[in-house]
Amino acid sequence: MILLELFFTFFKIGALTFGGGYAMIPFVREQVLAHGWLTEEELLNMIAVSESTPGPIAVNMATFVGSNEAGILGSILATLGVVLPSFIIILIISALLKNFLKYNGVKAFLSGVRPCVVSLILGTAATLFLSILLGIGNNDFTLNLDILGIIIFAIVVAIATVYKKLKGKKPSPILMIAISACLGMIFYSIPF
Amino acid sequence: MKKSKLILTLFLCFFKIGAFTFGGGYAMLALLENEFVEKKKWLTKDEFLDMLAIAESTPGPIAINSATFIGYKTAGVLGSTFSTLGVVLPSFIIIFIISLFLDKFLTFTIVANAFRGIQACVVYLIGSTGIKLFKQMEKKALPLTIMSVILACMIIFSLFAIKFSSIVFILITGAIGIVSFYAKHNAKEETK
């Protein structure tokens, strides 16, 4: 049943993603693609929408997918699913395990998980680059370049680099999304 | 303060924070600190840092973890329930409304083109987050090995369409962390 499937899938995502924010994207991506709930492009659109609206990406994703698949009830259950694990875990820690961070086992586990999370994020970026911009992946190795996309990507990287040099910090994601939206509107609308 | 009033205050505070923090967890932390450490003084600076460490070491979005933690500290289980509800509600409402209109919105060519540009930008956003985390990572042999092996696996698996859950990566690397910790520990004991 779709409602239970939504709840349990997002419960799993909430229970097993360490690091929050972008660290949750690899799991969310895997699950929504496997269930056929979103395509790669729809997922990227949703990440952009999440970045441009308040709230955690995983929660936004749960609300959106839930609503698409099963209306308001679906979005409530998916959101509840993604929130519940951390809610329960933090309650247990604050009520019972006050010294949680001092346990060696916890430290040891996290020492292995941290570098893994870094590679999951980098790996997601790399596979998205390959599939969205170069058109390869999923056993299909014929290049299908999205030249305009690659140009936009290069412009975005250049702007971020220059901005960082000048201001000493990275531009906000919302600003970058706004710039790339304008570039997309211009580039893809002009017939070359 | 009466308990019901305290809980209402928590709910409203987190609702406000949930409604106005764009850009995810870390952007929210500054607001949380300002609200609860500096203004209300419900948490000390040390408690806040502990909370941050716990939020980072447990699964789930940082916003949810912090709301549950602060809510519990201030007003027990009921406090954490209403804080979590408060922080989730704004984005739930916003994304639910967006989910009803996004598809129709995307049928306009100009909007679809804008989103194609945005997709390139999102690939950059994910990549730059990964690179930032990599820079913060401990550059020791074990974490670097874990990172490169997992990264290579991820890219190869996605190129050849091999289904493999990244949850397994998390569990394996966590186990490696634990084994290496106790191996080191034993080695130290023996040299004593």
| pLDDT value of residue B96 | 92
| pLDDT value of residue B183 | 87
Contact A112 B123 (CB under 8 A): no
Residues A77-89 have pLDDT tens digits of 999 999 999 999 9
Closest C-alpha among A96, A103, A192 to residue A151: A192
Contact B125 A51 (CB under 8 A): yes
Contact B137 A118 (CB under 8 A): yes
Q: Is B72 on the interface with A (CB under 8 A)?
A: yes
Cα A86 from Cα A108, distance rounded (Å): 20
Q: Average per-residue pLDDT in chain A?
A: 87
> Quick check: A138 pLDDT over 90?
no
Contact present, B151 and B144 (Cβ < 8 Å): no
Give residues 2 to 61 of B whose Cβ lies within 8 Å of A: 18-26, 50, 53-61
Identify the three-state secondary structure at position B81. helix
> Quick check: A22 pLDDT over 80?
no
Low-confidence ranges of chain B (pLDDT < 50): none
Would you say how long chain B is, in residues?
192
B79: closest CA of chain A, how far (Å): 11
- For chains A and B, CB pairs below 8 A equal 373
| pLDDT value of residue B1 | 65
Task: Provide mean pLDDT across the span A40-67.
Answer: 87
| pLDDT value of residue B38 | 83
| pLDDT value of residue A161 | 93
| pLDDT value of residue B26 | 61
ipTM: 0.83
